[in-house]
């Protein structure tokens, strides 16, 4: 089988210009008493200002752990970053002291989480918690910080911000709490916002409001957005580029139109056909067989091969491309898109 | 059931293996159940099985520790009408707090309705007692949302699946129980040798299968599925949805499928009811409700669902609702949705709209109901 020559093709994400955040061959493992769990196994991506990159994966695919590594909030121990680099505006964060890192995170990179209630401190008012960003990073007085907090609450469209600034997290609804989190995250005008399942706990109408808000804020500030999610619909509506993760690796990367229009990896393909759509009743769902792998015992070769309908084992495989023994590298399979499958060309049908 | 007794059943089962032909017939093995299901569907196609009329459930709000005073009521369910025919899947969608799960608890008689009736085969469930109620509880089973919290961690899978037979002894004769349990596990796609394992040894999807086997064990006619797949990963979700569909065909089951995921509900349901703040606002076939929604809330809800197809992006009519759902302890007068509705007029505050067909082809609880296409039709 011949492979197309892609030496001059653009790599995914190239259209957006200078990257502000780059992750290079990141490895994270958890050293537990019952063994080593390989949560992230060499992922690389870059994010430009104004770009929205969706990291799509199921639970246990390593998508949240990689984000926590970027933010420096991994629980260590047991988590250890065993290799790779995280570059923010060209500087490797992993080589900096915690003090230097702290100066970058906050004004540079910030993060919002899935569960807004447990991410907020229940005994401080939301105004105090939003204002903390200004007090800690800009040395503002309490009074000025509160004034800024009210402005921010207005900006994230919390109604009657001035009268709610002294309210506590439990007095807000789920959607409003997530807005408080967003207000804290954008307080210092970061260049990169990492949103880890920001709308998973929210109802669909509230989800639409919050995603709209995030997109508007991005348009105003030009920040890069890393959107971690398992929801294919959210990715399609919000993101420019998508990286699909499986077993701690990126298995496919490209623009959302390309990846969703014509998947190059059997896992992405399987995900697309296992999800019912609201547009049509559709026929029988085509689930991916089996369970997602245990990260303490990732299958040899391609981690997806035990569940893959296109796997080639033994003599059926091309030399060096045996699915159970040879790990497929993430490689260019078409202009502007990468996939980690020995037989992506077949999946693509080219 | 202790390990001892299940061991002895296993021993007896082995000894009884030679007499399998006989025990097969008496135990509810596949041929028997299949035949019953077939004869049921053949004799009474589409017969009305469940009818819910004006169902209400109000929970008291109390104040004080020693002398509790009732200071109000949370109107969790406030006037729900719904019918379910044999062999049909009725989807119930709505956002959190709309009362979906309270409806499911009322249906399986875990809660008593404040008002209204649940008629099962023409009999009021609230008035049932003794033998009739016991039979009802066997015939109407439930699958819960959280496969981690709904299985007792100290019981083996075999004990969980067969526990119902301790009460409903007539469903499975004592002799063939282990074999029947293993058949059930096999049917839901679990290895029958796992009967002596504990829930923590299974993944979320497998646990949900255990919950399904437990519900099936009592040969129900109706299964209330309360968010059965929302805790599962997408690739596993499809496996469980397919299993539910297969079981429905095989055993002639009727489902009330409760979920907040509009796509899953459309996929599995024959008819769909949309709930908002304790009552049904729109009801119809999946094509009617999704294709030509006529209640403003349904339209807003559907317009918020992100689509999966890149070529359909941006083609959707986006309706962004303002504000939050009002408290069910103090719902708005008249139409519940009027505080967030762009069509609201004076009449909406005065008169609660009935769930009737106003010329749009299916029932909708809006004074100004008007069909509108919100979700683009996928022509590809």
Cα separation, A331 vs A21, whole angstroms: 21
Q: How far is B145 from chain A (nearest CA, A)?
A: 15
Look-up of token digits 């049909």: B88
Closest chain B CA to residue A269 = B235
Given CB atoms, is B320 within the 8 Å cutoff of chain A? yes
Quick one: CA torsion of A180, A185, A186, A188, rounded to 10 degrees?
120
Residues in chain B closer than 8 A to A234 (CB atoms)? 306
- Report which of B126, B53, B71, B127 is spatially closest to residue B279, judged by C-alpha positions: B53
B318 in A contact zone (CB under 8 Å): yes
pLDDT of residue A13: 57
Output the pLDDT for position B178. Answer: 92
Contacting residues of B for A256, CB less than 8 Å apart: 310
Find chain A residues with C-beta within 8 A of B290's C-beta: 278
Partner-chain residue, chosen from B95, B264, B306, that has the shortest CB–CB distance to A203: B95
Dig out the tokens for B297 from the structure.
Answer: 């809330």
Cβ separation A279–B264 shorter than 8 A:
no
Secondary structure class of B87 (helix, strand, coil): coil
State whether A279 and B312 contact (CB < 8 Å). yes
> Nearest to residue A150, comparing CAs of A163, A162, A135, A136?
A162
Our CA-based measurement puts residue A304 at a distance from the nearest CA of chain B, in whole angstroms, of: 13
B3 in contact with chain A, both atoms CB, cutoff 8 A: no
From residue A325, alpha-carbon distances to A266, A317, A321 in Å are 17, 11, 8
Over its length of 380 residues, how does chain B's per-residue pLDDT go in tens digits? 344 444 344 433 433 333 333 333 333 344 444 444 444 444 445 788 999 999 999 999 888 888 888 888 889 999 899 999 999 999 999 988 888 889 999 999 999 999 999 999 989 998 888 899 999 999 999 998 888 888 999 999 999 999 999 999 888 888 889 999 999 999 999 999 999 999 998 888 899 999 999 999 999 999 999 999 988 888 888 999 999 999 999 999 999 999 989 999 999 999 999 999 999 999 999 899 999 999 999 999 999 888 888 888 777 778 888 777 888 888 899 999 999 999 989 999 999 999 999 888 899 999 998 888 888 765 44
Strand order in the sheet with A331-334: A109-112, A192-196, A224-229, A52-56, A241-246, A249-255, A337-339, A331-334
pLDDT at residue number B243: 93
Contact B101, B226 (CB under 8 A): yes
**Rounded distance between C-alpha atoms, residue B233 and residue A292, angstroms:** 9
If phi > 0 it is left, if psi is from -120 to 50 it is alpha, else beta; for residue A314 that is left
Helix, strand, or coil here: B217? Answer: coil
Identity of the residue in B237, B238, B378 whose CB atom sits nearest the CB atom of A279 = B378
B231 lies within 8 A of chain A by CB: no
- Residue B2 contacts A where some CB pair is shorter than 8 Å: no
DSSP code of A318?
A: P
User: What is the side-by-side order of every strand in the sheet holding B279-285?
Assistant: B140-143, B222-226, B254-259, B89-93, B271-276, B279-285
Per-residue tens of pLDDT for chain A, all 350 residues: 455 566 555 566 556 778 899 999 999 999 988 888 999 999 999 999 999 999 999 888 888 899 999 988 888 888 899 988 999 988 888 888 888 888 888 789 999 988 888 889 999 999 999 999 899 888 899 999 999 999 999 888 888 888 899 999 998 888 889 889 999 999 988 999 999 988 888 888 888 888 989 999 999 999 999 999 999 999 999 999 999 999 999 999 999 999 999 999 999 999 988 888 888 887 888 889 888 888 888 999 999 999 998 998 888 888 888 999 999 999 999 888 999 999 998 888 86
Number of A/B CB contacts below 8 angstroms equals 136
Q: What is the pLDDT of residue B22?
A: 38
pLDDT at residue A1, rounded to an integer? 46
Please indicate whether, in this complex, the C-beta atoms of B305 and A278 are within 8 angstroms of each other: yes
Comparing CA positions, the residue from A50, A321, A58 lying closest to residue A197 is A58
> Coil, strand, or helix at residue A136?
helix
Query: Which residues in chain B (73-112) have CB-CB distances under 8 A to chain A?
Result: 95-96
User: Is A203 in Cβ contact with B311 (below 8 Å)?
Assistant: no
Do B301 and A204 count as a contact with CB atoms less than 8 A apart? yes
Which pTM was predicted? 0.84
> For B48-60+72-269, which CATH class?
alpha beta
List pLDDT tens digits, range B257-281: 999 899 999 999 999 999 999 999 9
- Answer yes or no: do A176 and B324 touch at CB < 8 A: yes
pLDDT at B319: 85
Minimum Cα–Cα distance from B286: chain A residue:
A281
List CB contacts (< 8 A) between A274 and chain B: 234-235, 237-238
CA distance, residue B95 to nearest chain A CA (Å)? 6
Mutate to test the interface with A, among B229, B240, B266, B308 (most CBs of A within 10 A): B308
What was the ipTM of the complex prediction?
A: 0.83
Residue whose tokens read 């839901």: B188
Nearest-neighbour CA in chain B from A91: distance (Å): 35
The pLDDT value given to residue B160: 94
Helix, strand, coil shares, percent, chain B, to 5: 40, 20, 40
Helix (H) or strand (E) holding A241, with range, is strand A241-246
Q: What are the tokens at A337?
A: 């898109």
Cis check for the bond before A78: say yes or no (omega within 30 of 0). Answer: yes
- The DSSP line for B163-209 is THHHHSTTTS-GGGHHHHHHHHHHHTT--GGGGG--GGGS-HHHHHH
In chain B, where the domains are located? 48-60+72-269, 284-380
With an 8 Å Cβ cutoff, is B327 touching chain A?
Answer: no
Which candidate from A175, A256, A276 shows the least CB-CB separation from B263? A276
A29-55: string of b/e by CB count within 10 Å (b at 16+)?
A: bbeeeeeebbbbbbbbbbbbbbbbbbb
B27: its two tokens: 């135990």
């Amino acid at each position: 089988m011949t492979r197309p020559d892609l030496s001059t093709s653009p790599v995914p994400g190239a259209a957006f210009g200078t990257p502000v955040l780059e992750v290079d061959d990141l490895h994270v493992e958890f050293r537990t008493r019952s063994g080593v769990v390989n949560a992230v196994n060499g992922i690389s991506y870059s994010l430009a200002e104004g770009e929205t990159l969706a990291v799509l994966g199921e639970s246990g695919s390593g998508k949240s752990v990689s984000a926590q590594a970027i933010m420096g909030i991994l629980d260590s121990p047991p988590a250890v970053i065993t290799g790779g680099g995280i570059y923010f505006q060209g500087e490797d964060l992993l080589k900096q002291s915690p003090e230097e890192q702290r100066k970058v995170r906050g004004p540079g990179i910030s993060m919002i989480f899935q569960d807004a209630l447990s991410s907020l401190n229940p005994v401080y008012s939301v105004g105090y918690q939003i204002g903390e960003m200004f007090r800690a990073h800009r040395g503002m007085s309490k009074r000025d910080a509160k004034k800024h907090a009210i402005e921010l609450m207005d900006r994230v469209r919390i109604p009657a911000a001035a009268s709610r600034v002294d309210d506590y997290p439990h007095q807000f609804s789920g959607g409003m709490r997530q807005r408080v989190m967003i207000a804290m995250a954008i307080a210092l005008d970061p260049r990169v916002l990492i949103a880890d399942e920001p709308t998973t706990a929210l109802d669909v109408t509230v989800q639409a409001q919050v995603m709209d808000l995030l997109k508007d804020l991005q348009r105003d500030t030009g920040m890069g957005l890393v959107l971690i999610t398992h929801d294919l619909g959210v990715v399609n509506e919000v993101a420019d580029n998508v990286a699909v993760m499986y077993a701690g690796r990126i298995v496919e990367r490209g623009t959302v139109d390309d990846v969703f229009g014509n998947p190059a990896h059997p896992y992405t393909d399987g995900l697309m056909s296992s999800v019912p759509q609201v547009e049509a009743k559709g026929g029988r769902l085509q689930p991916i067989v089996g369970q997602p792998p245990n990260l303490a015992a990732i299958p040899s070769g391609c981690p997806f091969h035990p569940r893959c309908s296109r796997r080639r084992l033994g003599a059926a495989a091309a030399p060096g491309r045996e699915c159970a023994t040879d790990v497929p590298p993430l490689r260019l399979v078409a202009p502007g898109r990468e996939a980690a499958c020995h037989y992506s060309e077949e999946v693509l049908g080219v | 059931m202790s390990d001892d007794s299940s061991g002895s059943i296993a021993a007896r089962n082995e000894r009884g293996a030679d007499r399998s032909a006989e025990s097969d017939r008496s135990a509810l093995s596949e041929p028997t159940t299949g035949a019953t299901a077939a004869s049921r569907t053949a004799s009474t196609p589409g017969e009305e099985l469940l009818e819910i009329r004006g169902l209400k459930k109000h929970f008291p709000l109390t104040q004080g520790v020693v002398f509790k005073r009732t200071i109000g009521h949370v109107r969790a369910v406030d006037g729900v009408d719904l019918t379910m025919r044999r062999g049909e899947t009725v989807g119930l969608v709505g956002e959190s707090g709309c009362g979906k799960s309270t409806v499911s608890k009322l249906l399986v008689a875990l809660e008593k309705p404040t008002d209204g009736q649940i008629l099962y085969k023409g009999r009021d469930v609230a008035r049932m007692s003794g033998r009739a109620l016991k039979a009802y509880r066997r015939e109407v089973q439930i699958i819960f949302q959280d496969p981690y919290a709904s299985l007792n961690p100290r019981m083996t899978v075999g004990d969980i699946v067969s526990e119902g037979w301790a009460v409903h002894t007539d469903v499975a004769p004592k002799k063939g129980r282990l074999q029947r349990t293993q058949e059930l596990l096999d049917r839901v796609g679990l290895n029958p040798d796992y009967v002596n394992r504990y829930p923590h040894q299974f993944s979320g999807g497998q646990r949900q299968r255990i919950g399904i086997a437990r519900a099936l064990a009592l040969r129900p006619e109706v299964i209330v599925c309360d968010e059965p797949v929302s805790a599962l990963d997408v690739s596993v979700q499809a496996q469980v949805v397919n299993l539910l569909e297969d079981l429905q065909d095989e055993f002639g089951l009727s489902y009330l499928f409760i979920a907040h995921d509009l796509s899953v509900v459309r996929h599995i349901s024959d008819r769909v009811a949309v709930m908002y703040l304790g009552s049904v606002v729109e009801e119809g076939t999946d094509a009617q409700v999704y294709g030509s929604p006529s209640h403003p809330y349904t339209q807003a809800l559907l317009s918020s669902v992100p689509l999966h197809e890149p070529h359909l992006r941006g083609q959707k009519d986006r309706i962004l609702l303002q504000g939050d759902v009002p408290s069910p302890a103090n719902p708005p007068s008249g139409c519940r949705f009027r505080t967030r509705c762009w069509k609201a007029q004076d009449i909406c505050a005065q008169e609660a709209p009935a769930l009737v067909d106003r010329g749009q082809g299916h029932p909708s609880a809006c004074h100004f109901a008007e069909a509108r296409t919100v979700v683009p039709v996928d022509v590809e």
